[in-house]
Amino acid sequence: MKAFLILEDGNVFTGKSIGSTRDMISEIVFNTSMTGYLEVLTDPSYAGQAVVMTYPLIGNYGICYEDMESKKPWVDGYIVREIARRPSNFRSEDSIETFLTEKDIPGIAGTDTRALTKILREKGTMNGMITTNENYVLEDVIKKLKAHCVTKVVEKVTCKEKTTYLAKEYVPTDADNARSGLKIHPYRKGNFKVALLDYGSKDNIKDCLLKRGCDVTIYPALTKAEEILSENPDGIMLSNGPGDPKECVEIIEEIKKMYNSDVPIFAICLGHQLMALANGGDTKKMKYGHRGANHPVKDLKTGRVYISSQNHGYVVEDGSMSEAKAEKSFINANDGTIEGYHYLGKNIFTVQFHPEACAGPQDSEFLFDEFIQMMEVQ
């Protein structure tokens, strides 16, 4: 069946429908990863967005449900150049086309994703529609696209109730076993208790803590700081998540209270932005964001460059943070944007990228070890 991708600037791309045939309107973003398409589909940070995969062939190793980053897919739509209809992988349980259909995700294949990505890079992220209706009226569609706006997505993706996971019950996955040198090692007798605030957390954040001997309690995004601190966690993690960080007014107020405690805090992606806002910083929307598994970040302390996985459309405004409050720890080696902070006089550090990346580079997974060492000292 023929399908169309219509952008709010009037550009139209034609291809073949994959997955659901219903109409879809969403913000269109692109991801430059060569692998990890299931992790992209199930990453809550993509809630409210349709994803263009720039790699030309997607789906060649099928769907391995164990690799999902959450219990369900969160993308609104999926756009690829070519889809592999006969995956080859001993772990494969389904084809990506079957997955999209069963999960009711509209998609389009056969489009010129290179040209589409160039438009998004030059003009910036914009809204778009995937439709199989050949009788669409362009002017009417553009009006709908310009009016489309998604708000308060964190509240849609966060968990509904508190859940605790014990390190002793953690079972290594195939992905764990494939990583050379991985050791599951408690750092002391009696595991560390970590409170993980779920703003749209990927499962691998939890897993990176569990396999290091931490017991993890996941809290809904709007949980009060008093409740969390009353349970005496050894450390607090602020997770990744979707949307504009400035919308999270209530969450920012709770982070201020956590900041004023003595509990070590490690924040990733959206959590990094929220911590900055809680401390007088500012954020801005990027032209087209960073989404992919090949973004270089520079450690300003050592000068070393790490390859990182990233997924964000907002960034902390350079110069907005008081130098007496925090110092930059990482910057993006491509565009110089801020990728991390260390908060002075506090056991708090934050990063914009994803050290828990899966699939993706594990260059910066050592940051979880630094978090644990911080709890050990505390």
Active site residues: 269, 354, 356
For 94-98, the CB contacts below 8 A with 24+ separation are 94/62, 94/63, 94/65, 95/59, 95/62, 95/63, 96/37, 96/38, 96/58, 96/59, 96/62, 96/63, 97/18, 97/19, 97/59, 98/63
| CB of 353 closer than 8 Å to CB of 297 | yes
For residues 280-315, b (16+ Cβ closer than 10 Å) or e, as one string? ebebeeeebbbbbbebbbbeeeeeeebbbbbbbbbb
Residue 194, beta-bridge partner list: 216, 235
What single DSSP character describes residue 326?
E
**CA geometry: angle 357, 364, 369, nearest 5 deg:** 105
DSSP characters for 78-145?
Answer: EEESEE-SS---TT--B-HHHHHHHTT-EEEESS-HHHHHHHHHHH--EEEEEE--TT--HHHHHHHH
Count of beta carbons in the 10 Å neighbourhood of residue 171: 7
Classify 108 in phi/psi space as left (phi over 0), alpha (psi -120 to 50) or beta.
beta
Any idea what the Cα angle at residue 187 is, between residues 186 and 193, rounded to 5°?
75
| DSSP class of 28 | E
Q: What are the residues whose beta carbons fall under 8 Å from the beta carbon of 344, sequence distance 6 or more?
A: 324, 325, 326, 327
Distance separating alpha carbons of residues 280 and 276, to the nearest angstrom = 7
Q: Which of helix, strand or coil describes residue 38? A: helix
Distance of CA 202 to the CA centre of its chain: 7
